[in-house]
Amino acid sequence: MSCDQDSTRGIPLLGEKFPEMEVQTTHGKMLLPEAFAGKWFVLFSHPGDFTPVCTTEFVAFAKMHEEFRKENCELIGLSVDQVFSHIKWVEWIKEKLEVEVTFPVIADGSANVAKTLGMIHPGKGTNTVRAVFFVDPEGKIRLMMYYPQEIGRNMHEVLRAIRALKMSDENKVAMPANWPKNDFLGDKVIIPPATDEKTAKERLSKYDCYDWWFCTKEL
């Protein structure tokens, strides 16, 4: 899908391909999702440059950028500000807060990207909400988060989600609440439920099970 369409699109569905689009960023023009082919990437939007909550978020993402890269994941920000505003804001963060923003920031002045991805919500004006899109190495949207303008995000949760998605893909397992620090499972993972009686019985002896439908294992 081109991001040059005038109409506002609804929120994408999980599993859909990230729409192909050329974007202007602080690192030059990029073609998404092609620019991150073979990697995970997290695209996150913020309401506006030179605002307090957004500044705290950019500092947090910047400080954790290398942690994301260790997971073969890149970061890319977005707002409807112009590119010169992004550049000046990034310079301000480095000068005043001594933190270098090393990821690109999309200048979506026409709001085409924001409309395509459903980042502009009724009742929140023309600025983008705090949306987060997790895109896998095949260019598919795997997870989405939406926060109102008033609430800053938890970047440790964003990183945890990337790690959980990768773990799930690599091992064909599910992750419990608060993984890897679940209240009673700790860092164990959950085996997908059996789909026939034979497999259900086998799993009772093969894994640690509370019942045939609730089996776990260590990785």
Residues designated catalytic:
54
124 and 140 Cβ atoms separated by less than 8 Å: no
Distance CA 141, CA 134 (A): 6
Nearest C-alpha neighbor of 176 from the set 134, 132, 218, 133: 218
| Residues contacting residue 3 through CB under 8 Å, at least 6 positions apart | 19, 21, 23, 112, 113, 115, 116
8 Å CB contact between 145 and 160? no
Contact 194, 203 (CB under 8 A): yes
Tokens, residue 168: 């799930």
Report how far residue 6's alpha carbon sits from residue 218's, in angstroms, rounded to the nearest whole number: 50
155 alpha-carbon distance from chain centroid: 10
